[in-house]
Structure 1
Amino acid sequence: MNILYPAYFPNIAFFTVFVQSDEIVWEVQGNYQKQTFRNRTYICNDRGKHILSIPITHVGQSNGKQLNREVKIDNSYPWQRQHWRTLETAYRTSPFFEFYEDDIQPLYGTKFEYLMDFNLKTIEIICECLQLRMPTAKTEVFTLGHESELDYRHLVSVKNVIDLVQTDYVQVFGDRHGFTPNLSILDLLFNLGPQATAYLQETKLMLRNA
C-alpha cells in the first residue's frame, strides 16, 4: 500500500501513484506545513502556469504548530467564486470542460470548514469522474517512516523536484506557452476526459523518496 497526503485537486505525479497503486492510505496526522499542495494547485491559463491557493485560518498557538486535520479554511474571502471563475476562463474551450462541469462546480458552491475535508472531496469527485475507487483508509498515528508502505508523502511539497516522465498532451494554451507538465489533475481531466486514466497508467514517476 502507498501513503499520500490529501491535496487540493492533486497534480499528475500524485494521481500517477494513485492510479498505479493497489491500495492507498491517507496521511491525516502530523502538523500542517506551508509551501505544500495541501492548499494550492497549479493550472495553465492564457498567461501561463497559474496558482490557485485556498486561504486558511492561522491559529496562534504557543508552539506555532497546527495539526493537519484541524486546519480551517478562511471563508471570509470569496476564494471559491474566484477559483471557479479562473477555471472557467482557463478551460471553457477545452474538449471536456462542459462534460465535467456539473461534477466540479458544486464544490465551489459548498462551504467547507476544514481544509482536509475539502481536499478529500476534490479527490473523491475526480474518482467519480474517472470511475476510480475512492480510498477510505487513514493513518492513526504519525510516523517518520513507514516500513510496510511506499511513502509518497513528499509529493505534497511544492519545493521537491519530481522526476516525472509524462507524454505531452494537447493543452488549451499549449500553442502559446508550450507543454506545461505536472499540473492539477483538472488540466488532464478537461483536456483528455475519460482517456486520463490510461494516460496516468502510462506515466512514470522515477523517484519515490525525497
Structure 2
Amino acid sequence: MKALFHPTYFPNIATVAAMIKNEVVWEVNDNYQKQTFRNRCNICNDQGKHLLTIPIKHVGGSSGRQRYKDVKIDNSYNWQRQHWRTLQTSYRTSAYFEFYEDELEPLFHEEFDSLLEFNLKTIAFITEALGIDLAYLKTESFNLNFNEGLDMRFLVNAKKEFTLSQEPYFQVFDDRNGFVPNSSTLDLLFNEGTNALNYLQNQNLSFLDA
C-alpha cells in the first residue's frame, strides 16, 4: 500500500518500521515547520535521550514561510563535526558502530546545502544498512488529504506523543537510563546490527490506527 511520509533526519524506528511495510511516497511540496523531525533526531547517550538538530537558514519577510524542498542548511556553524563527534562518543562501545562507521562518516564531512536532499541521503544510508531496496515516489503538489493510501505525515511531529508497543533491545547505556524507545534507527543499527531489519519487521504498528 502507498504511504505518504515526510523525509526526516535519520528517521526513528516507528517511521522506518512503517516505511519497510509500504510503498513510500515522499511529501516534498509542503511548507517547512519548526519543531519537527525534518531537522532533528533523537539518539541515546550516557544521559539518556539526546537531540541532534541541524541548523537551517530562516527566511525573512512577513510570512516567514518556505517550502521544505527550498530550505537551506546553515553551514556557518560546524554542526556536522559536532553531530559526528556526538555519535562517536555515544556509540563507540556499541557492538556494531565500527561496522557502519566508514559508510556513515562521509555524510558528516561533505557539505550539503539542501535539507531535503541531505535527509534523503541519511535515509539512503539507513535502507542500505538494512539491506533493503526502497523504491519511492515524490509528490507533485501539496494536498491536505492523501487519498491514495496511508497518511504517515503525522510521524514528523517531534512534539506529538503516541504509544509505540516496542520490544526493548539492548542499548549501550540502558543500565543507567533504562530503555529509550523510538530513537533514531541509527541507535537500533549500532546496537543490533544485522538483526535490525528483523526487529523492524516485527514491530507492532497498531499506533497507526489510533
Once the two structures are TM-superposed, the CA of residue 47 in structure 1 deviates from its matched residue by: 1.1
Contact residue 6 and residue 116 of structure 1 kept, 8 A: yes
Point out where structure 1 has 5 or more consecutive residues left out of the alignment: none
Task: Please give the TM-score of this superposition, normalised by the length of structure 1.
Answer: 0.97
| 1:10-47 Cα distance to aligned partner (Å, 9 max, x none) | 001101101222x1000001100001000000011011
Distance 1:94 1:107 in 2: 20
The equivalent residue for 2:25 is: 25
The equivalent residue for 1:3 is: 4
Distance 1:61 1:94 in 2: 46
The equivalent residue for 1:166 is: 166
Task: Please give the TM-score of this superposition, normalised by the length of structure 2.
Answer: 0.97
Distance 1:34 1:205 in 2: 26
Code of the aligned partner of 1:70: D
The equivalent residue for 2:66 is: 66
The equivalent residue for 1:103 is: 103
Distance 1:194 1:203 in 2: 16
Contact residue 36 and residue 157 of structure 1 kept, 8 A: yes
The equivalent residue for 1:84 is: 84
The equivalent residue for 1:176 is: 176
Distance 1:61 1:193 in 2: 46
Say how many residue pairs are matched.
209
Distance 1:142 1:95 in 2: 42
1:113 aligns with 2:113: yes
Distance 1:53 1:29 in 2: 22
1:125 aligns with 2:136: no
Question: What's the % identity of the aligned pairs?
Answer: 56
Distance 2:61 2:75 in 1: 21
The equivalent residue for 2:40 is: 40
Contact residue 69 and residue 114 of structure 1 kept, 8 A: yes
Distance 1:199 1:163 in 2: 17
